[in-house]
Structure 1
């Protein structure tokens, strides 16, 4: 049974009163004043001798989009399962709008929408049928027909799920997570398998939801998606949070430098001494100098003086992918 199915089945039933727009108010279930949308503190989870999470802490504010990044096996799904109440942590705790996912499950399911990476959509049903069925679990759902249009499912709303493309099924899964007017969203790879146009559509929808005050935690392997959509990025690796900051700040933290290329054997120590800046070998005749772009003439002059050929030089401006790769590098990788 999928993550979405478990959460939806526990939700309280009620009449499916249609609403005029997807962007109408979110759920008004009574909550503590101004709690974090998601608050995770010191999560510890082990599977036998394997430590899946080691003291993981993170938070999502209302209206904030947080991207949870990490390699396969980093602990992202385990953290999501703890937040959704599907796995009790061995230590630490998770809260959704101040609610304990286990003790306050009924109240939590009124405010939390979950989209699993592998959708649990009934293959014989249509998107419209699924949305209308799921709407009956909630007292104040979004209008399923309006949600079909907003999720970009209008052309396939009457087709069986088994006939849809992977991207169309993903958009249906996202729509199911939204039908109960959640104040918090937990999304596992929301744009996985979706074409570029569909991906932009999903990103726009997430931006609208955040603007309406919905707190969103999404796991993703797409560094581009994280950089474009997220306000905050959390890098998880081997069960430990390696970084937690804005995409811009993380990129800036990697530092800047100059990338050099030469077909000759470079005397890195001599260059470093002359420039009074560290020089790092990158392999294949490529080198990184810890210097700013205004020192390019100085570097070029050193090459001219020493007779070492300089075939290329440019400023190195790291992006989120550079930071991610450095944070999650394995010792056995080249």
Structure 2
């Protein structure tokens, strides 16, 4: 049985569907990612999983439990780091860790957590005097202090510098190695590509795609990305030829620079077309497609 089951989940605000039929399952021991543009319904979806919001339709189960009707039981096995959280301004880091530890029968020792997250020298500092990145690290520690079986992380590394972000990624990988299931909401593609076993892409309240990071890249963005700036502007006929190249998945132009996704065959066809038209490809770059490319291909532009 999956650890998390979400089936045809719906949530409305003011009669407008914010989540409109989202479905996915998360297996035990998996790092499962939820990606999507701002306002796509990601946070509302995970708040229904956490039992913080009541669904208007569909079914949600966490370890076979209803997170709303059986919220107390779910809270014993699920730790959560919310997208937006605050603590009392004068509460110190040590006091916050001690307070949250008192909520659980068998809490984790918060001292190694504090050391791993770079909080040991901030234990006597009030919450209001912490930097944004330090506050974020504190909330990660508080999510882990109950030694949860399932961990929900919403925008895990927002506000962290690159080194702290990579250290946090390693921490999450270590947590998964201990058998903890992780549900991760993020807009950092590098984070999702490194950490996630599978990803649900949510767009406009619906599940746009569900696959491994590699599967999303292969299926949606093609395998190869080529970008160049032509030595002169392309005329309409040349643009039509470019748009009809073999195995082309997408083509975009911005500030005179073209980016195409497709296959090696597409790259050969582009270079042949440019040579035939006596166009030089300045700053030519060819590389493997990334999750960024897949994300842009799978999600709609705002109306």
Tell me, yes or no, if structure 1 residue 82 matches structure 2 residue 48: yes
Tell me, yes or no, if structure 1 residue 256 matches structure 2 residue 256: no
Tell me, yes or no, if structure 1 residue 328 matches structure 2 residue 299: yes
Distance 2:94 2:267 in 1: 61
Q: 2:86 aligns with which of 112, 120, 123?
A: 120
Report the counterpart of residue 278 of structure 2 in structure 1: 308
CA 1:310 to 1:76, structure 2 compared with 1: closer, same or farther past 3 Å? same
Q: 1:135 aligns with which of 101, 120, 131?
A: 101
Normalising by structure 2, we get a TM-score of 0.87
Report the counterpart of residue 161 of structure 1 in structure 2: 127
Larger radius of gyration, structure 1 or 2? 1
Tell me, yes or no, if structure 1 residue 40 matches structure 2 residue 12: no
Tell me, yes or no, if structure 1 residue 265 matches structure 2 residue 234: yes
Report the counterpart of residue 182 of structure 1 in structure 2: 148
Deviation at 1:316, TM superposition (A): 5.0
Report the counterpart of residue 258 of structure 2 in structure 1: 286
Distance 1:197 1:112 in 2: 27
SS of aligned partner of 1:110: helix
Distance 1:209 1:65 in 2: 10
The 10-residue stretch of structure 1 (286-295 or 240-249) with the greater mean CA deviation from structure 2: 286-295
Distance 2:165 2:259 in 1: 36
Report the counterpart of residue 53 of structure 1 in structure 2: 19
SS of aligned partner of 1:148: helix
CA RMSD of aligned residues (A): 2.5
Uncovered stretches (5+) of structure 2, i.e. residues with no partner: none
Q: Deviations over 1:185-210 (max 9, x none)?
A: 11111111011111112111111111
Distance 1:272 1:103 in 2: 53
Query: Is this contact kept in 1: 2:113–2:141, CA < 8 A?
Result: yes
Deviation at 1:82, TM superposition (A): 0.8
The number of equivalent residue pairs is: 295
Deviation at 1:264, TM superposition (A): 5.2
CA 1:293 to 1:156, structure 2 compared with 1: closer, same or farther past 3 Å? farther
Query: Is this contact kept in 1: 2:222–2:261, CA < 8 A?
Result: no
SS of aligned partner of 1:109: helix
CA 1:222 to 1:285, structure 2 compared with 1: closer, same or farther past 3 Å? closer
CA 1:302 to 1:73, structure 2 compared with 1: closer, same or farther past 3 Å? closer
Report the counterpart of residue 210 of structure 1 in structure 2: 176
CA 1:223 to 1:299, structure 2 compared with 1: closer, same or farther past 3 Å? closer
